[in-house]
Chains A and B, each alone.
Chain A
């Protein structure tokens, strides 16, 4: 089972990003993918005061005085943020964050998807990039779905569910930044929903949609369900589950027997 599989762990972007493949990871592709992540970290880290995004936030630099390639990537991310803000009806809003625009909620997923593409360009197959729980995978060559566990929102080390994933999945929960997710439209701390998972073709959107679903609650599921290829579920404080019809839940006993 583990025969040729390979794993690489890269500390970057304030987390540890895992690269997994059931075959060997091409070393050149891995190198490109890792460089991609460090580059994204350099540009988008809000922890680093000298990063381009930090300088934009603090007003030390204007967009026009940024390095051109950095500015291009920032434009791309911010346009994805605009789309995500529209799709979530404002529940995901990087412009409502204190201290200026903060695309962090979308960047991690965006970066992981770019890393996956770098691996695929180098000939990798059956790859999974897990950026702190935001997961981008390539379509499996055996035609099956990836089986991904969704972290239990209140029991450390436990899973709430196992779901089948073709491209991307992101989960947002109160274990992320306890008490810090605020609904931008009401200004109130998000309450009620303790875990929100979005599955779909693009990880950056799934990441942002999961944040929006966590903040807004299950009323956002109808909107997500309208997006082609996206499915979602969430769990509220009372332990109730809400799901769009297309989530591919893997039966727990089957998963254990595999």
Chain B
């Protein structure tokens, strides 16, 4: 019996030390650390991080941390390959607290898939700066020029360059 582990170790070394391991990671939600710990321990991660409703709840919990005024602006409606979109940016003081889709009119299901990823991606990148347990988020951001242009116009309305 004691030989089995040695054989296994030899095999792992033989493939240049690359390990393959299935992991049952429960996704971590991007929110305040306390919210995180609770949602993870209760095991109800499926209820969070799925839609715009969780987006707005996480941004409002961020806003509760200070007393600076919260303002928002909606960027221009930009045409893109699959339809058109407008992005709403919310700031508290000089910090962006939420980036959400103000309107969207799409022509196929694929673009809806893109949107559902695009908004939380940019938002979480921004919100990560306010989270105590992580300092940044790796993973690509939506690169549509339309999305970008709308964000830029919203930022400019809010007094960002």
Contacts and interface: CB of A to CB of B under 8 A. Distances in A.
A162 B2 CA distance: 35
A128 B135 contact: yes
B143 A177 contact: yes
In the complex, which range does the number of interface residues on chain A fall in? 35 or more
Given A15-B148, A149-B30, A240 B138 contact: no
Contact of B145 (A47, A222, A243): A47
A158 B49 contact: yes
B152 interface: yes
Nearest to A2: B130
A246 B22 CA distance: 17
Contacts of B55: 157
B137 A222 contact: no
B9 interface: no
Contacts of A55: none
Interface string B80-105: 00000000000000011000000000
Nearest to A179: B110
Interface in A111-162: 128, 130, 132-135, 137, 146-152, 155-162
A16 B122 contact: yes
B40 A253 contact: yes
A184 B67 CA distance: 52
A166 interface: no
Interface stretch (A65-73, A95-103, A167-175): A167-175
A160 B25 contact: yes
Interface in B2-37: 15-23, 25-30, 33, 36-37
Contact of B22 (A147, A159, A241): A241
Interface stretch (A6-14, A56-64, A84-92, A185-193): A6-14
Interface of A: 1-2, 5, 7, 9, 11, 14-16, 18, 20, 47, 128, 130, 132-135, 137, 146-152, 155-162, 169-173, 175-179, 195, 197, 218, 221-222, 225-226, 239-245, 252-253, 255-258
14 contacts: A7-B95, A20-B129, A133-B141, A135-B136, A150-B138, A151-B121, A177-B143, A221-B18, A225-B16, A241-B21, A243-B19, A244-B19, A252-B28, A258-B133
- Please provide the 9 A-B residue pairs with the shortest distance between their CB atoms, ordered closest to farther: A151-B139, A132-B141, A158-B27, A157-B49, A176-B140, A157-B120, A222-B16, A156-B120, A159-B28
